[in-house]
Amino acid sequence: MTYTLLIGDRSYSSWSLRGWLPFEVFDIPVRVEATILYRPAFAEDMARFAPIVRTVPALKTPEGGLLRDTVAIAWHLAETFPDRGLLPADAADRAMAQSMIAEMHSGFTALRGACPMNLRTAWEGFAPSDAVLADLARIEALWSAALDRSDGPFLFGDYTLADAFYAPVAMRIAGYALPVSDRARAYVAAHLSHGPLRRWRAMGFAYGPEQDTYEMGLPRLPFPVPAQIPARAVETGPSGNATCPYSARPVTHFAEIGGRVFGFGNAFCRDKTVADPAAWPAFLEIYDS
Ligand SMILES: N[C@@H](CCC(=O)N[C@@H](CS)C(=O)NCC(=O)O)C(=O)O
């Protein structure tokens, strides 16, 4: 038995991202079930997962427990895996991290409302309101208080649950080009190049539609991610590899990546790789060999 996590659209569901990151970063096995926001099936999928669930993410524990809020998930994982560094080891840092998580969970409504997380595109010319600027100032103050103590690259040096909670904020700063200090920008850049975040973002392109709700009516810009290896799906092989780098199954789907053709065991594995080839260690192993 392992954990089962129900998530919404990876491109848009900031709370799902917060729920999933700890599993990927701290190497905790989890089976992920994905549903799609704003569809009639969304409510049905949640009810099928557990009748009491009303939002994503939700988590079933191996012991039959159900956690249906990101803070509950975070505290459960920190308690269950005390030796993996989910929270800072230093007691004062830990108190700061817990307070920052709680403040993220209950606050920053202006920023969250005006700048919904959208990992598919960045926007040009977004004009933040005074309320959004006030949220940003408070976020900068919190980040600085932590970075003063740790000197980065993450809030408490190594990645902790506090970073998982602020990852979607970092993506909003990146996607809406929000005005922040150089130090905050460096912290945002640490998230943009963080392998788990890159993999989540890439999977967002491989499953689920573009959601009209998130259209800002502004010119679009490429999301400001690290340099990409050129990649595109192609109809046919042959590929240099006979088996999928992820599942070891025979290849059925193909992509041209960095000028060579590679094969994958299904469309999802091909598309998540095409979206950001360098994010996937298992793919890089065959790419570099
Ligand atoms: N407090 C919840 C919030 C979760 C939440 O609002 N999730 C959004 C998706 S990002 C959702 O499920 N919205 C659907 C709805 O409210 O009907 C948590 O921290 O887990």
Which tens digits make up the pLDDT trace of 76-90? 999 999 999 999 999
Which atom in ligand 1 lies closest to the alpha carbon of residue 37? Answer: 14
pLDDT of residue 1: 78
Among 180, 224, 220, 233, CA closest to 201:
224
Residue nearest to ligand 1 atom 13, measured at CA: 55
Which atom in ligand 1 lies closest to the alpha carbon of residue 8? Answer: 9
Q: Is this model's pTM higher than 0.95 or not?
A: yes
Residue nearest to ligand 1 atom 14, measured at CA: 55
Give the sheet arrangement for strand 253-257, strand by strand. 231-234, 253-257, 260-264
How would you classify the pairing of strands 66-67 and 122-123? unpaired
Which atom in ligand 1 lies closest to the alpha carbon of residue 19? Answer: 20
The dihedrals phi and psi of 256, each to the nearest 5 degrees, come to: -95, 115
Residue nearest to ligand 1 atom 6, measured at CA: 55
Each residue's pLDDT tens digit in the chain (289 positions)? 799 999 999 999 999 999 999 999 999 999 999 999 999 899 999 999 999 999 999 999 999 999 999 999 999 999 999 999 999 999 999 999 999 999 999 999 999 999 999 999 999 999 999 999 999 999 999 999 999 999 999 999 999 999 999 999 999 999 999 999 999 999 999 999 999 999 999 999 999 999 999 999 999 999 999 999 999 999 999 999 999 999 999 999 999 999 999 999 999 999 999 999 999 999 999 999 9
Ligand 1 and 168: CB distance under 6 A: no
pLDDT of residue 234: 97
Spatial neighbors of 13 by CB under 8 A, at least 6 apart, are: 7, 37, 56, 57, 117
Domains identified in the chain and CATH numbers? 3-80 (3.40.30.10), 91-198 (1.20.1050.10), 227-289 (no CATH)
C-alpha 289 – ligand 1 centre gap (Å): 42
C-alpha 186 – ligand 1 centre gap (Å): 29
Neighbours of 231 (CB within 10 A): 19
Ligand 1 and 160: CB distance under 6 A: no
C-alpha 91 – ligand 1 centre gap (Å): 30
pLDDT of residue 193: 97
pLDDT of residue 41: 95
